[in-house]
């Protein structure tokens, strides 16, 4: 993907989360059902890095289950970070679409990236971020991904908008890239890449990670997100 196009897509998502932070967080106030199986990969006293932490949703879930020994959350949205509970851990603003975005954060037993890798424009940029997550792992640690499978149901497919809406052409984006609408608290647009099982396998291989487990969970039908557990 052309770097100028990638920056435009990052700007689309930045504008979305700056404007709709409150309504977005309200739509996800409860922990996703798929979070529960992540507890199987956390030992007592585990350290967790949450890449794309939003308003601290995962941190709240881990805290409620007594699984929050050391937590660091990073996100690019100032409004979302402003709503986190600082008592849950350390929170920092980082642009996850840039190289070295996770530098200086230390090592962790679990690096979670839930509904965030899908917002990083371009396969090469996603490999870069996943590789940085790998480098933050302690020996025996895991990376946990969750990515939206929005093409699986017609009610989700209705959100797709043409690239011309934001002045782009199909040839300027990559296969699996979509522009999706938002209708809570106003009309908005987000860039999302469809990271299904084959796409996830390609990313894992490129980042030097192996797939330990995959499962579908969340949403009305119970299969809205694809969760993937990865290890070195």
| Rounded CA separation 192/177 (Å) | 6
Residues with Cβ < 8 Å from 209, sequence gap 6 or more?
A: 130, 134, 143, 230, 231, 232
- Per-residue model confidence (pLDDT) at position 212: 98
Say how far apart CA 178 and CA 191 lie, in whole Å.
6
| pLDDT value, residue 21 | 85
CA dihedral 2, 7, 11, 14 (to 10 degrees): 120
Strands (E), the chain: 47-51, 70-75, 90-93, 108-114, 137-148, 160-161, 177-182, 188-193, 210-217, 225-231
pLDDT value of residue 43:
87
pLDDT at residue 24, rounded to an integer = 85
Q: Residue 138 contacts by C-beta under 8 Å, 6 or more apart in sequence?
A: 47, 107, 108, 109
Look up residue 135 and give its two tokens: 């480098």
pLDDT computed for residue 46 by the predictor: 93
Nearest 5°: phi and psi at 49?
Answer: -110, 125
> Would you state the pLDDT for residue 101?
98
Distance, in Å, from the CA atom of 171 to the CA atom of 99, rounded to the nearest integer, reads: 25
Q: Where are the alpha helices (DSSP H) in the chain?
A: 3-26, 57-64, 78-82, 123-135, 154-157, 197-206
Residue with tokens 């590789």: 131
The CA distance from 230 to 188, in Å, is 33
pTM of this structure: 0.95
Check residue 173 and report its DSSP letter. S
pLDDT of res. 28: 75
Least Cα distance to 229 among 216, 209, 208, 214 occurs for 214
Q: What confidence score (pLDDT) does residue 96 get? A: 97
pLDDT at residue number 154: 94
Question: What is the pLDDT, as a whole number, of residue 22?
Answer: 83
Residue stretches of the chain with pLDDT short of 50: none
* pLDDT attached to residue 149: 97
Beta-sheet pairing, 70-75 with 47-51? parallel
User: Per the structure block, which two tokens stand in for 12?
Assistant: 């689309």
Q: Are 229 and 211 in contact (CB under 8 A)?
A: yes
């Amino acid at each position: 993907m052309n770097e100028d196009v990638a920056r435009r897509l990052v700007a689309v998502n930045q504008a979305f989360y700056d404007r709709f932070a409150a309504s977005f967080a309200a739509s996800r106030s409860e922990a996703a059902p798929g979070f529960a199986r992540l507890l199987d990969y956390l030992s007592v006293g585990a350290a967790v890095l949450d890449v794309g932490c939003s308003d601290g949703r995962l941190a709240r879930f881990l805290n409620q289950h007594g699984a929050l020994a050391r937590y660091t959350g990073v996100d690019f949205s100032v409004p979302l970070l402003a709503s986190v509970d600082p008592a849950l851990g350390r929170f920092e603003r980082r642009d996850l679409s840039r190289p070295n975005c996770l530098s200086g954060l230390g090592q962790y037993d679990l690096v979670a990236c839930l509904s965030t890798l899908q917002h990083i424009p371009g396969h090469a940029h996603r490999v870069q971020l996943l590789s940085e997550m790998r480098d933050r792992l302690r020996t025996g640690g895991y990376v946990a991904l969750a990515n939206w499978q929005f093409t699986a149901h017609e009610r989700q497919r209705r959100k797709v908008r043409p690239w011309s809406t934001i002045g782009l052409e199909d040839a300027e984006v990559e296969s699996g890239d979509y522009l999706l609408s938002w209708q809570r608290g106003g009309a908005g647009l987000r860039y999302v890449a469809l990271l299904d099982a084959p796409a996830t396998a390609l990313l894992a291989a490129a980042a030097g990670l192996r797939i330990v487990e995959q499962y579908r969970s969340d949403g009305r039908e119970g299969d809205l997100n694809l969760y993937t557990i990865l290890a070195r």
